[in-house]
Amino acid sequence: LFMTLGLNWLSKKRDSWIFLGGVVIGSVFEYLCSWIQEVLFGTVSWQYDNMPFNLNGRINLLYSLFWGLLALVWVKGIYPLMCRLISRIPNRVGRPLTWVLLVFMIFNSAVSGLAVARMSARREGKPASNAVETFLDNRYPDDRLKKIYPNMVYVQEDQE
């Protein structure tokens, strides 16, 4: 979404501008996601501390360059193809389908966030205090979440 919104206006420009825009947008997005995850849940899912040219261990030059490459592939190849395919879907089908997918993604993101927040609360020894927390404890126990988010670690573990 951010690549599309941020780079669509560059689609007719030189590839180097799309690449640089992708480096910036991808890096800022990756940094913000890491920072928000740490602030909200006390966890991180990637750490680049041991890689050269990193910024606070949240981003590094190598992956920033990959963001630029991804932007080129997206803007020049995948997005135009997807637009052609999507334009073939009639509005009477496309509009409701878009809303259904949007609601699903919001719900999916909310459940994921709540499950990780509950995992953090369990780690602090807080018992479930309502039906939603009980559901999350039963449906998303720590061992299941560790399989879903295998690289996620608590920041406090690194500092101890």
Q: Rounded CA gap, 155 and 29, in Å?
A: 20
Model pTM?
Answer: 0.80
141: which DSSP letter?
A: -
The predicted pLDDT at position 99 comes to 96
Assess whether pLDDT exceeds 60 at residue 158: no
Average pLDDT of the residues of the chain: 93
pLDDT tens figures, 88-111 = 999 999 999 999 999 999 999 999
Q: Rounded CA gap, 4 and 11, in Å?
A: 10
Instruction: Identify whether the C-beta of residue 125 lies closer than 8 Å to the C-beta of residue 140.
Output: no
- List, in sequence order, every residue forming a beta bridge with 153; answer none if it has no partner: 44
Question: Cβ–Cβ contacts within 10 Å for residue 136, how many?
Answer: 22
Instruction: Identify whether the C-beta of residue 42 lies closer than 8 Å to the C-beta of residue 155.
Output: yes
Q: Rounded CA gap, 51 and 70, in Å?
A: 20
